[in-house]
Amino acid sequence: MLQNFSSRLQNASARLSHSLNRIGLFCILAMIVLTVSDVFGRYLLNQPIDGAYELTEFLLVITVAAGLAFTQVSKRHISVEFISSQLPPRTRKWIGCFSSSICLGIYVLIAWQSVEGARVQYQHGIYSVAFGLPKWPFYIFLALGCGVLCLVFLADLMQLLSGKEERI
């Protein structure tokens, strides 16, 4: 039963992370176009794009939040396998459980604080300087990205505990 739930959670979190990653890729493309246009306008036309720096900051938040879970699903985060590959499988399993649990706890806290930050930003009506955009939606998107990452860590933890497959 744990294996079945684990695989379903893993599939759902993988689909969510792929969808978020596409949003992040679009934001990278938007940042490239915005930056090139701003540089072109600034140095060739003497007419920079107002608020380009601020808009790039917002797009960067979305890009990073969107890529967190995808990177974990793809197992592309930095890991030190030199030492762990020398350990017995059972020890690697428990190290994986411990690290997944710690990461899950940390990102639950980050998601929670992002929601709290969004609430404060919304209540105080804080807007960006250049465009007058509310800042709270970007906090919510960060919480969403961290929440999907938490699902991935939970799926990894459940998979390790079920003994189905070793994933560190």
d(CA 168, CA 84): 9
pLDDT in tens, 85-134: 788 888 888 988 999 999 999 999 999 999 999 999 999 999 988 888 99
Domain that includes residue 157, residue range: 2-162
d(CA 135, CA 15): 27
d(CA 119, CA 99): 30
Torsion of the alpha carbons at 61, 9, 75 and 158, rounded to the nearest 10: 120
Query: What one-character-per-residue DSSP string does 51-89 give?
Result: THHHHHHHHHHHHHHHHHHHHHHTT-S---HHHHTTS-H
Task: Tell me if 70 is assigned to some domain.
Answer: yes
What pLDDT was estimated at residue 166?
A: 46
What pLDDT was estimated at residue 151?
A: 94
pLDDT in tens, 131-167: 889 999 999 999 999 999 999 999 999 988 887 544 4
Helix 136-162 vs helix 52-73: angle between axes, to the nearest 10 degrees? Answer: 10
Whether 70 shows a pLDDT value over 70: the answer reads yes
pLDDT in tens, 31-54: 999 999 999 999 999 899 888 999
For residue 168, with 0-12 CB atoms within 10 Å meaning exposed, 13-18 middle and 19 or more buried, which class applies?
Answer: middle
pTM over 0.85: yes
| 132-159 b/e (C-beta count within 10 Å ≥ 16 → b) | eeebbebbbbbbbbbbbbbbbbbbbbbb
Q: What is the mean pLDDT of the chain?
A: 90
What pLDDT was estimated at residue 164?
A: 58
Task: Tell me if 94 is assigned to some domain.
Answer: yes
* Count: domains in the chain: 1
What pLDDT was estimated at residue 80?
A: 66
Task: Tell me if 167 is assigned to some domain.
Answer: no
Least confidently predicted of 4-13, 77-86, 94-103: 77-86
